[in-house]
Structure 1
Amino acid sequence: MRPDAARFLNDRLDWNLLRTYLVIMQERSLSRAAARLYVTQPAVSQALKRLEEALGHTLIQRRGPHFEPTQAGIDVYRIASDIYGNISRLETELDEKTEDITGSLRLLSVSRIDSAAYDEFLAGFHRAYPRIELQIEVMRASDIISSLLQKTATAGLSLCRSPVDKLERHCFLRQRYAIFCGRHHRLFGQTQLTMDDLLAENFVSFTSDQIGDSLSPLTVFRDQRGFTGRIVASSPSLDEVRRLIFAGYGIGCLPEHIVRDDLAHERLWRLPPEEGLVDVDVYLLWHRERRMNVAEQTFLDSMLRWMQQHSLSERLGDGRGTGSARA
C-alpha cells in the first residue's frame, strides 16, 4: 500500500469496526458476536461489510452458518488484536494513584464459577474499595486465554491444563468431576451398578472434552475404561450439559459440588466410580507483562492474599468468614 493510501485509510477507518471484527473472530459466529456486543445480527453483518469495503479485501468466506477467515482476515485479526490491546492500556497510562482508589478492571470468567466463598470475597472487596468498577465477562476458556495474551483484560478465571507462555497461573478452584445420569435416563435410581454397566451408554459431552483441550482428561478416562457409547449431545456451557444429562440424552461428567442440589432433589443420579473421575482446576490467570492500573493491581493483590489464606476445599465451601479483601 502506498504511503498516501495508508494515510487515507487511517483517516477514514472506523476503529469500532475492528472491535466488532475481533469479536466475530473470537466467537466464530455472527449471532454470538451480536449477543456479546448487545447489538443485532444485521448490525454485525453490516459492520463486517463496511470493514471489508474500507480495507478492499474479503475477510471472511461464508458457507451457510459456518465461515472461514481468508488470509487477509487472519492478518487483519492479528493487527486488530495488537491495536485493541494498546487502546485498552490507555487507562493504565493515564491512571493517577490516589488514597481513595478508583478505576475499573475487566475480569473474564468461564461459566458457572460456583463458590459461595468467592462471592463473599467479592462482597468484601467491594466494601473495601467501593469506587473500583468491576466488569465480568463470561467466555469460553480458549477465548479467555486468547484475550489475556492480547492484554485486553485484567485477569481471567479459566481452565488451563498446561502453562501458557507469558501468563501467570495460580490454581483458584479444584473441581472433582463424576459421572451422572438424569431423571429421564434408564439407569436413574439403580443402586447396584458397576463400571461395566456404563460402558455402552451414550454420552453428553463438553465441546472442550477432547484430546488437547481443557477437559481432555475426561476423554482419556473414557478411552482407558473402554467406553463404546457415542457422544449424542454436547455444549460448551456447563448448565446446558447439565440440562441435557437431566433430559436423558446420555450419561455425562459434571463437577460434584455443582450438582449437590440436583442430587438432593433427585434431578440427577450419581453413577460409578464412587470416587469420581478426575480433578479439573480453574486458574486465576493474567499477563505478566501487562501494566496494571492501581485498581487492577489492588484486585489481583487482594485476590492472591485471599487465596493464600483459604485452602482449595474452603474455596468450595459456604463462604462464611472468607470475605476479607484486605486481610
Structure 2
Amino acid sequence: MSEMISEKSQAPDRSLNLPTEFDDAVVWAAWLYYADQLTQSEIAKRLGVSRATIVNYLQEARERGIVSIRISSEANGRTTLARKLTEKYGLDGVFIIPSLDDGHLVDRLGEAGARVLAEQIKPGDTIGVAWGRTVLAVADLISLPQPIENLTVVQVTGSSTGSPDFSAELCTSVMSSRIKARCVNLLAPAVLTTRELKEMLLDEPVLKKQFELIHSTDRIVFGVGDIGVKSTVRASGIASQEDIDEYVRHGAVGVIIGRFIDAAGRPLLGDLDDRMVGLALEELQQVPSRICVAGGKTKITAIHATLIGGYATHFVTDIATGEALLGK
C-alpha cells in the first residue's frame, strides 16, 4: 500500500503554532503521519492537541484529497482464496476485496476493477469496453497515476434502446474521458431486425474499420449478468423478454457481452445471435487480457460458467462470491 500527499491546501482553519511550510493543521498532521511516520500520539504532542483530534485530521486529509491511498492489486492477489481461484479456473490473476453488507458491492467492485485495469494499461493500448452497471462503475472510477499516451477505448457491442444508465456507449464514453483516450463508439444497434440487414450493415466500410479496431483490442473489461427477472439484461433493451425466456428454456444461465452461455460456459446460439452486432464469444477469447469484474449471490452460477468457459484471464470479485465459487 502506498500513500501520496498532494499539494492541495486550503486556508488556515486551525489556530495552532505551525511551521510556516504548512499553515493548515490537517496538511501538517498528514505529513507527519504518512511521510515522517510519527505515531498519532507523537503528532498530538507536537501540535498540542488530543490524539482524537489527530484521528479527525487524518480522516479529513483523505476526504479533502490531501492524502491518496493506493493498494496494489498484487497484495489482493496473494490471499489464499485468490490463489485457489486462480488454480481452479486457470486464471492469470485474481483480485479479492472484502465482503461488506453495505449495499455498494457494484461500486466497490468497480473501484477494484479500475485498479486492476489501470495497472495493466500501457502506451498505445486499445481497450475494449462492454456494458452493465459494474462495467460503468469501473469506467467511472478509473484513474491513472500518470498520463499514458495514445490510448483508445472502443465499444465492443452495439447500442441499445433500453436503459441508458449502463449502456455500452455510455461506458465507453465515460472511460475514455477518465483516462483521456480516443473514444470509438460502435455506430450500429445491438440487434437488427434480420440477419440479412446485419450482413449488409457490417459490409459498410466505416463498420469494417471499427471491427478491425475491436478485433485488435489489447485488453477488455466486462461483467457477468444473470438472467433473473430483475437482471440487467432484461432492462438493457437488447432483446425482448420472450427472446430471453427462449434462451433460458435452452439452458442459459448467464450473459456476457450480450451473449448467452449455459452452465458449462458454452455459447448458446439462436436467432438473436444471427441479428446481433458486436464481439462474439470466440472473438472475446482472442483478446490477450480479459478482465471480468463480477460478484453477488445471484450471479454465482453465471460467474462459474463464465470462468470455466475460459472467457476471463483476470477476475475481480469479493470474498463471499469467491468462497461460493470454490464450492461449485
Q: TM-score, normalised by structure 1?
A: 0.29
Compare relative contact order (CA 8 Å, sep 6+) and give the higher one, 1 or 2.
Answer: 1
